[in-house]
Amino acid sequence: MFSLENENETFKIDARRRMLLLGGLFAGGILIIGGQLFHLQVMNGGEYRDLAENNRISLQPIPALRGRILDRHGRILVENSPDFQLAVIPELTGDIKTFIKRIQPFIDMSPDKIDKVLRQAQRQRSFLPLMIQSRLTWAQVNQIESRIHTFPGASIQVQTTRSYPNGNTAAHLLGYLGEVNDKDNLQFSDIHFRSGDIVGKTGMERMFEMALRGKEGFREMEVNAVGRHIRELKRQPAHPGPDLRLTIDVELQAEAERALSGLTGATVCLDPNNGEVLAMVSQPSYDPNQFIRGFSNDEWKQLVTDPKRPLINKAIQGQYPPGSTFKMVVALAALREGKIDAQTRHFCNGSVVKDNHTFNCWKSGGHGHIDVVAALEQSCDVFFYKVSEALGIDAIARQAKNMGLGEITGIGLEGEKPGLMPSRTWKKATYGHAWYPGETLITAIGQGAVLATPLQLACMISAVANGGRIFRPTFVPTSKDDLPPPTHITSFSPNHLALVRKGLTAVLHGKSGTARQFKPEKVMAAGKTGTSQVVKHKREKSGKLIKESNELFKDHALFVAYAPLEDPRLAVSVVVEHGGHGSSTAAPIAKRIFDFYFDKYGTS
């Protein structure tokens, strides 16, 4: 039987159960929340405090001023110049398009530049400065500053930019800057680059990147949740890079460039006693300031597609057959091996025949009976053909290697080429064929497979000048008490060296010397002309050369020399692409360099 009393009792029991369950759930929730708060505040409180602190602190880098580059006398080659920039804070100035339209008469922005600024304005926060135009002229700065009150939010900011005050002078040697890429990150792994950082790409700018860039500083800024700066908390100043003094003489460099102006090629000037580079020229050149200003698409396309390759440093990357400049190597090898001496004479009738092939002398009528001194003076090909037959290619290759040919000099500039000194082993490994006797004859006059850079040729003639030492070319000044050790030492016999020097002196001062018309004015010099074929020349039946009309098929012109004779202070190599003859094109350039140098610095 249903009882109201029993129903009330059941209700009370259910209510108590529900209250206990709800109380338990509530207590459990409190315990869980309390545990989480304990974990966050007590156990991990320090970590989260650090994270919160970091979220409101921004570290901003302070760029270090890049070190200047100076020549050997302290004259500026590369410096840092002020860059006047117009910036605006969008939230203060209003509509950016309207601002640009109003400021346009004073700065003349291109449509591409305007589009770039508008895109940047959309990407960044409106309270951050927006760069409108950099590299403003002083006149533009004055015009804007006098009206700055009419442009709310606008300001002129001053930054520093790299500057090459001599323009094209020494461009390949000094190099240029560019934005960092993966290759830079790999090579300079000790530098923590950020996207957009600038780094040396070529020349001295790259070779001495670690020293020149200095050490950047930083500002510790407090920012709010949206990144707006509130105050500066801490500052560590940047340390500028030290000045770099080079061995280069900028006046000699400029004169060498003028001497080669309008031509394609290179010239290198060394101190033969220590390997210091006094000048290094590659033509045509470019203006490294353009890499700072930026290129238009057409300008860049024209630069990189120019068949004369203005971006290539031909002094270290141009590889040319050395032509008759190589004959001094063959002469020294033959003297060392006992294949010739001062009395050895060969008869030149204009050609020799080897294995049914005719090898011509440059002088179709021949030189008659001739010894090694006269063969160098008159550059007789037949004499060296016959000497090389007795000598063999491997002996020639050994002598060439000892004089720095066929391998990089180790100057430290990126992209240096090693040239090539062929041998039996090289040909077998490269082509899988045996060496032919006729190839020895061609190599003996600096043709065929043999290749050298203008820098290597300067090292070669320096070895003759200093008695057999090959120094690693350097841009860092040395002292007489701290000379670098030679990379190669060729122990020339004094008698052998005297014979070769006598022949090289006769090239300039002998009655039949191939460069006698271009001897220096103030000093006695020793040198060797060279002409290297680009294509095989056609000849008349008499053996006389048929003049080539196509400019690109003309021979390269070469000349190497040193002066003064008794106390050499300057060694020079000149290569002119498609210049014709070394005696008429390259030798006058060297004469101009010698005359300038010894007129300026004296002969003693």
pLDDT at residue 88, as a whole number: 86
Answer yes or no: do 399 and 319 share one domain.
yes
Answer yes or no: do 363 and 496 share one domain.
yes
Answer yes or no: do 435 and 577 share one domain.
yes
Answer yes or no: do 200 and 266 share one domain.
no
Amino acid at 80: N
Amino acid at 75: R
Answer yes or no: do 271 and 203 share one domain.
no
Q: Among 197, 216, 245, give the residue marking a domain's end.
A: 245
* 3-class DSSP assignment, residue 501: helix
Q: Which residue numbers in the chain have pLDDT < 50? A: 1-2, 4, 51, 539
* 3-class DSSP assignment, residue 375: helix
| Per-residue DSSP letter, 221 | E
- Separation CA 408–CA 416 (nearest Å): 7
* 3-class DSSP assignment, residue 434: coil
Cβ proximity of 490 and 403 under 8 Å: yes
Cβ proximity of 154 and 148 under 8 Å: yes
pLDDT at residue 83, as a whole number: 84
Reported as half-sphere exposure (CB side, CA atoms, 13 A), residue 324 has a value of 30
Answer yes or no: do 237 and 267 share one domain.
no
pLDDT at residue 327, as a whole number: 98
CATH code of the domain in which 589 resides: 3.40.710.10
- Separation CA 604–CA 595 (nearest Å): 14
Give how many domains the chain has, as a whole number: 2
- 6 is a domain residue: no
Answer yes or no: do 228 and 267 share one domain.
no
Q: Among 220, 245, 270, give the residue marking a domain's end.
A: 245
| 198-212 per-position pLDDT tens digit | 899 999 999 999 999
Domain region containing 483: 250-283+313-601
pLDDT at residue 2, as a whole number: 46
Active site residues: 324
Residue from 397, 396, 525, 410 nearest 456 by CA? 410
- Separation CA 552–CA 557 (nearest Å): 13
pTM of this structure: 0.82
Helix (H) or strand (E) segment spanning residue 596: helix 587-601
Answer yes or no: do 336 and 419 share one domain.
yes
